[in-house]
Amino acid sequence: MTQGGAARRTVLGAAVLAAGASTIGMGAGTAAAAGSPAAEDGRHPQGHRGLPVPTVIGHRGASGYRPEHTLGSYQLALDLGAHVIEQDLVPTKDGHLVCRHENEIGGTTDVADHPEFEGRRTTKTIDGVAVTGWFTEDFTLAELKTLRAKERIPAVRQRNTLYDGRWAVPTFEEVLRWARREGRRRGHEVWLHVETKHPSYFRGLGLGLEEPLAKLLRRYGRDGRNAPVFLQSFEPSSIQRLAKLVAAPKVVLLSGATTRPWDFVQAGDPRTVADLVRPEGLRWMAGFAQGIGPTLDLVIPRTPAGTLGTPTTLVRDAHAQGLLLHPYTARNENSFLPAEFRKGTDPAAYGDVFGALRAYFAQGIDGIFTDQPDTALLAAADFTDR
């Protein structure tokens, strides 16, 4: 399968936008499908502040169709009908927050083509892992703005390389202004899902993320309990710090079961993610967060053969603590899908993502991060209408 043309996505975007809007404010009898854990126990018929369930979150924008974390990617995700748009934040040398999935930018910008920055290529240890490349914290914002964004995984998403060089790296303040403009134009607020990346590492450099983030949220009116924004991090201490600064809803991200959050490693906390997804760990997180963002494998683990295994009790247990679940990440391509949903042998070809999404939605999750929001919106409509 191919991604299809821009015209097809424009028409589809209008359709799913209408479908998504129609679910806002639905009650338990319609928003949570019968037979799902959420429907059976009556919890979470709606997401936060009436967001549709399942909430579709544009992962780094519409990164399946445009280079990630660009205004072009965010705009397309919104046009396709995504309910929430995600940003990952890292700092520049002079303390500005910019949108990149990682502070190493060799894979997502054309920095390697700039001879003036050749000498800044270096190796750093980020959260215990040696990484070689160019890093945002070594660039001023003015220098970073001379670079252009490019597709991160061109071998899988060759079509996206058409847009290499089209957009600059956006600051988070530029995104806030964009969201304000779009909200006024559309007549409804634009939701954001904002992650602090490697917060302990950056705090050690004197570039703490939480304080400048909170300052920007206050400046643009997104700091309150009912603000149209989720704040997320893989480090619980970053969420705890944000909880003292702003009242906006917060989500603890959770990686593989055997991993430990980096702030736990630094603090000597022996707990792993497997400990955090137990009832006592979920109860602890519910003391300062309103949701969790687990990897999909924590909801339904994969077998050694790569197929979906037996679902865990995470959804039920998290809901029992009043926590929303926004798992990550749904993608259309075979290389990312469970084995039984792949079609053919081309890793870049599209598989049966609708089947995979149906399996995850059946667990009662409240939302999902996806690189292709239009696909997830259609799958969500299929699921809630069945």
**Best CA proximity match to 333, nearest among 155, 149, 87, 104:** 155
- What are 144-180's pLDDT values in tens digits? 999 999 999 999 999 999 999 999 999 999 999 999 9
Distance between CA atoms of 362 and 351, rounded to whole angstroms? 19
Is residue 385 over pLDDT 90? no
- Planar angle of CA 196, 275, 241, nearest 5 degrees: 30
Task: Give the pLDDT band of residue 48 (cuts 50, 70, 90).
Answer: confident
- pLDDT tens by residue, 2-40: 333 333 333 333 333 333 333 323 222 223 333 333 334
Task: Tell me what pLDDT residue 47 has.
Answer: 58
Residue 286: other Cβ atoms inside 10 A: 17
What pLDDT is recorded for position 40?
Answer: 40
pLDDT digits (tens, 9 = 90+) for 128-143: 999 999 999 999 999 9
163 Rama class: left (phi>0) / alpha (psi -120 to 50) / beta: alpha
- Residue spans of the domains in the chain: they are 6-95+153-385
pTM for the model: 0.88
Summarize pLDDT for 64-98 with one digit per residue, the tens. Answer: 999 999 999 999 999 999 999 999 999 999 999 99
Check the CA dihedral 295-29-228-12 and report its sign: positive
Q: Give pLDDT, residue 279.
A: 98
* Radius of gyration of the chain, Cα coordinates, nearest whole angstrom: 20
Q: State pLDDT tens for residues 224-265.
A: 999 999 999 999 999 999 999 999 999 999 999 999 999 999
Exposure string (b/e) for 293-331, b if CB count within 10 Å is 16 or more? bbbbbbbbeeeeeeebeebbebbbbbbebebbbbbbbbb
For the chain, what is the mean pLDDT? Answer: 90
Looking at residues 184-200, what average pLDDT do you find? 97
- Span 100-105, mean pLDDT? 98
Q: Where are the beta strands (DSSP E) in the chain?
A: 55-58, 84-91, 97-99, 122-126, 129-133, 191-196, 229-233, 250-254, 291-294, 324-325, 367-370
CA–CA distance, 300 with 129 (Å, rounded to integer): 28
pLDDT tens per residue, range 324-363: 999 999 999 999 999 999 999 999 999 999 999 999 999 9
Domain 6-95+153-385 has CATH 3.20.20.190: yes
